[in-house]
Structure formats: C-alpha cells, structure tokens
Amino acid sequence: MAVAEAVKKNAYEAALENFDTAADALELDYDTREIIKYPERVLEVSLPVRMYDGRIHRFQGYRVQHSTARGPAKGGIRYHPYVNLDEVKALATWMTWKCALVNIPFGGGKGGVACNPKEMTQEELERLTRRYVASILPLIGPERDIPAPDVYTNPQVMAWIMDTYSMAQGYTVQGVVTGKPIGLGGSLGRNEATGRGVFFSVQSACTHLKIPLKGAKAAVQGFGNVGSIAAQLLHSHEARVIAVNDSRGSIYNPKGLDIPKLIAHKKETGRVSGFTGAEEIQPEELMGMKCDILIPAALENAIDSDNAPQVRAMIVAEAANGPVTPEADRILEEKGVFRIPDILCNAGGVTVSYFEWVQNEQHLFWEAQDVYNRLERVMHSAFAEVLKINLERKVSMRTAANMVGVGRVAEAVKLRGLFP
Ligand code: GLU
C-alpha cells in the first residue's frame, strides 16, 4: 500500500481503537467516554500563497484541538505532502493522552499543512507559515493552544509563528509556541528533547529486560531530528547502531555505524546513502534486521501487518507517533516483542516544551543540566508507572500507557462537571 493511502486509512481509526481498549480496561462509563473521546474543535483552512514564480498556490491546512480538559491544547505542526484531516485528528488525540501520561498541565492538539517543504524556498515557507498562523489565530495563544515543531517544521518556523502572533497582538508573546530558537526564548535542550526521551525510555526497557545497553544492537528507521539524536545517544553509550535509513536510502554496518560522522554526512548531502563505512541495503531489510532495539522514528504505520512478521528485534521503541498499526501490534505481541508505546517513548519533546512554556511565563531561564535532569526524572517515572500497570494488570505497555493518560483526562472532566 502506498504510504499516503496507509496514513489516510489507519491513523485515526487506530487512535480510536487505542482509546476504546484503554477505556474498557478502566471500565470507564459511557458518559465520560462520550465527553473525552472526540476532538473538541477542528479548523480547516485554505491558504493561498504567492510562490517564487509569481503564481498563487493554494495549500490546505488544519488545526485540531482534541482536548483542553487539563489545560491549553498542546501539539506540533506538521508540514508534509500526506497531511490530511484524519491524520491530524489522530495526532491530536495521541497528544492528549501523552500530555496526561507525563502529567503536564496541557490537553492535546495538532496542526498540519499539506505541502512539501523540501521543494519550497525559505521565502515560500515563511509566507505559508505566516498565512497559516493568521488563519488559525483565533484558536492559538499561550493559555489556549500552543504549537511546536513536528515532522519537517523546525525552530525557524516556530520563530515565524511567534512573530506573526505577536504582530497581531501588538506585543511580543513568547509562550504562544515552543521549540523556538534559543535567542527568542527557546529552552536549552528542547531541540534534542524527543530523541533524548527516546533514549531514556530505551534505557528503562533494557534495564527491565536485562539487556546490557553496552554492545546492544540498534536499527533506526528515519534519521531526522528524533532518529538521529536517539542514535547519537545510543552510540555515545556504546550501543551499536547497525542500520539506519531515511526517505532516500538505507545503510548497514554490522560493526556499528559512526553516528557523529553519519550526522555530518547527512547534514552535508541531505541523505544517509553514500556514507563511507557502510553498505547500502533495501528499506525492508532494516525492519527485519536481527537486533536488540528497533526504533521507528519517521511516520505512522511504518510497521504494518505485512512487515511485522519479519521483525526480529527484542524491543520496538516507538519514537514516531503511531508507527505500529493495531494489527501489527497484535503480531508483535504474539512474537513476544517488547513495545515502548509512542505516547511514552516520544513524550520527551512535549515535556521539554512544557519546560519552555514555564520559562516563558516566568521570564526566568534554566540551565541545560536542569532541563536534562528534570526530563530524565519525568521519563523514568512515567516508564515505571506504565510498567507497573503492564505487570499488575497483564495488559500491553500500550494499553497501560493509555490507561494512565485516559484515566487522568477522565478524572479532570469528572471534577470539572459538564457545562452548562
Ligand atoms: N511534535 C511533538 C510530539 O508529537 C512535540 C509536541 C510539542 O512539543 O508540543 O510530541
């Protein structure tokens, strides 16, 4: 199935299925389910942008607020050709349970624009971003809904978001967006936070399964911000990253790839292919690689019912959002593969986003080590909490993680009562 089709078909259905499984395990009543299951608000916007050649191109954009029960909606903005409303709804839903799981005072949201930033100039991207922000302006704000980076958006895009919002308000509002450049009120450690959080959760899983991290073999699918930083941290803790890929190719070295050099190569050439000290392999070989830790760090549905039977890893660490379809999840369960579910594994990003927002609200900035220490505590304790439910209730790590997240949101809506 083409990736676009797979993304369209499954993501939101999978999100609803995750919810139902957790709600059943929690024995949640019907009324509470009706209140918390579906997105609170959905906005679809049409974005005409003047392109480099003088013509107008129209892009489709979205912002979904799934929940504001525990605080402002929170979640990234994705720029990718496959972005569609169902995908954004799924991603917003997962953000709600993720924020609740790590117990930060946010709900869940997500935004996206269907576009291909790889084929756009910086000026076009800036115009698109500013037009998008102007169109979703009534929804966002530091107490309402706080965007952040996601696939193919970065600190520069966040800077344009902050500037556009601030221009409309008439004064500078740092807390409207996280993942900003440091010079504009960004937090130290935010850029690496998702990859660092993935590393902490892999560390916890290895301790639990008694797999020594030193010498452990890892394969990483996707070598963007998250995949490359997780790989770098594994490498610096003497794990062997034996295979890596990106959208343009896949490489392999059984002795372990030199990750700092690979990051430099990717920066220079825009791809992992062509790296000296590695052989090129087919993308499907990576998923079936015999290794201890497999890290899908790209898009949804990377592991589906077609390739799940081939997975030979002990641990699947879901650095991406929704990388394992529900059918594939059942196959991995039967094979005894330990899965670190996405809302736990990749929660480091939004956790440090919360730290950034706190620093912006307080106008007081923390040292990098404070950010790392607090992040480590949050990740290890969330892992321990999920593992406890997994062992005691004999449910999967995914269901356990969703039970914590859904349970906290259910508690919040019960306490608030129903308006009007
Ligand atoms: N896009 C990231 C995620 O999916 C980060 C969201 C945020 O920091 O708000 O978790």
Query: In angstroms, rounded to a whole number, what is the distance separating the alpha carbons of residues 201 and 379?
Result: 7
Euclidean distance between CA atoms 311 and 243, whole angstroms: 14
Q: Tell whether 270 and 148 lie within a shared domain.
A: no
Does 367 map to a domain? no
State which H helix or E strand residue 344 sits in: helix 342-345
Query: Which tens digit of pLDDT belongs to each residue from 125-153?
Result: 999 999 999 999 999 999 999 999 999 99
Ligand 1 mean position, distance from CA 349 (Å):
5
Pairing mode of beta strands 77-79, 249-252: unpaired
Active site residue 110: yes
Phi, psi of 403 (to 5 degrees): -65, -40
What is the predicted pLDDT for the residue at 10? 81
Q: What are the pLDDT digits (tens) for 323-365?
A: 999 999 999 999 999 999 999 999 999 999 999 999 999 999 9
Task: Tell me the residue range of the domain where 65 lies.
Answer: 11-173
Q: How far apart are CA 350 and CA 139, in angstroms?
A: 19
Residue 9 pLDDT level (bands cut at 50, 70, 90): low
- Which pLDDT value is given to residue 102? 98
Closest CA to ligand 1's atom 8:
350
Residues 250, 151, single domain; the answer is no
Give how far the C-alpha of residue 356 lies from the chain's centroid of Cα atoms, to the nearest Å: 17
Does 5 score more than 80 pLDDT? no
213-255 pLDDT, tens digit each: 999 999 999 999 999 999 999 999 999 999 999 999 999 999 9
Q: What is the whole-number distance in angstroms between the Cα of residue 197 and the centre of ligand 1?
A: 12
Would the pLDDT of 2 be above 80?
no
User: Which residues lie with the beta carbon below 6 Å from any ligand 1 atom?
Assistant: 74-76, 148, 150, 178, 321, 346, 349-350, 353
118 shares a domain with 234: no
Beta bridge pairs of residue 291: 313
Q: What percent of the chain has pLDDT over 90?
A: 97
In a domain, 52, yes or no: yes
For the entire predicted model, the pTM comes to: 0.96
Alpha-carbon distance values, 320 to 52, 236, 389 (Å): 33, 22, 23
pLDDT at residue 287 greater than cutoff 50: yes
Q: Ramachandran region of residue 210, left (φ > 0), alpha (ψ -120 to 50) or beta? A: left
pLDDT per residue over 356-400, tens digit each?
Answer: 999 999 999 999 999 999 999 999 999 999 999 999 999 999 999
The residues, ordered by sequence, that sit 6+ positions from 195 with a Cβ below 8 Å of its Cβ are 225, 226, 227, 228, 229, 230, 231, 232, 233, 319, 348
The domain tally of the chain equals 2
Q: What is the pLDDT of residue 277?
A: 87
Q: Looking at 8, 37, 110, 266, which residue is catalytic?
A: 110
Tokens of 360: 């912006």
How far apart CA 121 and CA 226 sit, in angstroms, is 24
For residue range 49-96, list pLDDT tens digits in order.
999 999 999 999 999 999 999 999 999 999 999 999 999 999 999 999
Same domain, 169 and 197: no
Do 48 and 112 lie in one domain? The reply is yes
Atom of ligand 1 nearest to the CA of 91: 4
Nearest to 214 by CA among 231, 230, 238, 234: 238
Residue-wise pLDDT for 109-126, tens only, equals 999 999 999 999 999 999
Q: Ligand 1 pocket: which of 94, 101, 150, 154 to mutate (most atoms <8 Å of CB)? A: 150
145 and 93 in a common domain: yes
From 161, 159, 168, 178, select the one nearest 74 (Cα to Cα): 178
Q: Is the dihedral of CA 80, 86, 90, 95 positive or negative?
A: positive
CATH number at residue 277: 3.40.50.720
Residues 6+ apart with CB under 8 A from 306: none
Q: What secondary structure does DSSP assign to 320-379, as a single string?
A: SSS-B-HHHHHHHHHHT-EEE-HHHHTTHHHHHHHHHHHHHHHT----HHHHHHHHHHHH
pLDDT at residue 8 is higher than 50: no
Shared domain check, 221 and 110: no
**24 and 109, same domain (yes or no):** yes
| pLDDT higher than threshold 70 for residue 3 | no
